[in-house]
Amino acid sequence: MVRLGCALLFASTLLFGCNRSEQATAEARPTHTKAAAAAKAAEKAKALEKAKAKPEQNEHADEPRRFVVPFAWEASRDEPLSQTRAYLKEILADNHVYMEHGPKFFASFADGQKPRATVLTCADSRVHTSAFDTTPENDDFMVRNIGNQVNNALGSVEYGVEHLETPVLMILGHSGCGAVKAAMGDISTQSEAVRHELENLHVSKPKTGVSADAAWSEAVVENVHSQVAIALQHFGSRVQEGKLTVVGVVYDFRNDLGHGSGKITIVDVNGNSDASRMQAFVEAIENDAAPGASRKKDGARGKRGDVERADSGSASEAANNPLSPELKRVVDRANEMANQASAPKLRTAAPAPSPAAASGH
């Protein structure tokens, strides 16, 4: 505590110096009044003298804010600056471990990015790529905001989809989303900035007879569908051309959907949300992923540092490789079951390779 006291005293001294130097500056400023010239000159001289008398305080006037952080750690473990120190210590240590990937790993993407997915998700601290991708580097172009909203980050999403030409736009909502919950209620009490972010997040008000948790869970899924629909308004032509697939996903760490804690569930593909079609889609992608399009050495759960590119031979092979008869049957069956006559159909042949895959990087 003695050390802390000294630190605070030191900080206070510098802060005080800062205040006094601001005062000196204000006094030195021309007043633009019609005061007597002699009085003005005297005042100016006085101010200059004051400024000269405190060169060191002026020089260090901005430093207290930089110095209080390392001194704060002894006060309490829960105190904000103490948490800051602990957090920064941990990220530096984690980064040190991460650097063990070595120069070869980082060199593989040092000169440019070729992600396969633009991933729009919530800023929520419980949501991270580690839930669905052990090797996200150079593969997931991440865009985040509260409520995973397309229009609140349209420029970033558009950059991923149209400039980087990712073949996937994945919109990933999550159970327990605070933004969705806020949007279900009265947002007028929120700050202007937060209200601005939430005013385009439209979900149904809770129905009578539905528990609050169930309504919240439904609203999370509803928002994912809504965001997929908005994305299709912007990027529908790329979907029709086979260049883009918009996938709506819910990451469920609360097991609200009953599929298991931490499960990610595909709930929407290009505006299709029928459960049977989603099941068929998942079966198709799990059983017949184009071999050349994988970047993982050992199946889906590649080790870090194993990020690989599809070679051009495999990519062209993928382009000419229709779905197997069995999977084609699954997809056809799903399409037959579609209850939305105008909904886009699932593809019965492998799409053309994405520019990223075709480039052979």
Q: Report the interface residues with Zn ion, using CB under 5 A.
A: 122, 124, 177, 179
- Are the beta carbons of 183 and 196 closer than 8 angstroms? no
In whole angstroms, how close is the CB of 145 to Zn ion at the nearest point? Answer: 9
Sequence-ordered list of residues with C-beta below 8 angstroms from that of 219, at least 6 positions apart, any chain: 180, 181, 183, 184, 203, 204
Euclidean distance between CA atoms 212 and 207, whole angstroms: 9
In whole angstroms, how close is the CB of 248 to Zn ion at the nearest point? Answer: 14
Nearer to Zn ion, 108 or 265 (CB): 265
In whole angstroms, how close is the CB of 212 to Zn ion at the nearest point? Answer: 17
- The burial of 203, by beta-carbon neighbours within 10 Å (0-12 exposed, 13-18 middle, 19 or more buried), is given as buried
Beta-strand pair 117-122/168-174:
parallel
In whole angstroms, how close is the CB of 173 to Zn ion at the nearest point? Answer: 7
In whole angstroms, how close is the CB of 256 to Zn ion at the nearest point? Answer: 13
Nearer to Zn ion, 114 or 174 (CB): 174
In whole angstroms, how close is the CB of 322 to Zn ion at the nearest point? Answer: 39
Nearer to Zn ion, 165 or 252 (CB): 252
In whole angstroms, how close is the CB of 178 to Zn ion at the nearest point? Answer: 6
Beta-strand pair 117-122/263-269:
unpaired
In whole angstroms, how close is the CB of 198 to Zn ion at the nearest point? Answer: 11
Nearer to Zn ion, 182 or 290 (CB): 182
Burial per residue of 284-321, b for 16 or more beta-carbon CB atoms within 10 angstroms, e otherwise: beeebebebbbbbeeeeebeeeebebbeeebbbbbbee
Nearer to Zn ion, 147 or 353 (CB): 147
Nearer to Zn ion, 126 or 329 (CB): 126
Nearer to Zn ion, 161 or 177 (CB): 177
Q: Which has the closest alpha carbon to 119: 144, 138, 137, 151?
A: 144
Nearer to Zn ion, 224 or 323 (CB): 224
Nearer to Zn ion, 167 or 176 (CB): 176
Nearer to Zn ion, 22 or 213 (CB): 213
In whole angstroms, how close is the CB of 194 to Zn ion at the nearest point? Answer: 13
In whole angstroms, how close is the CB of 174 to Zn ion at the nearest point? Answer: 6
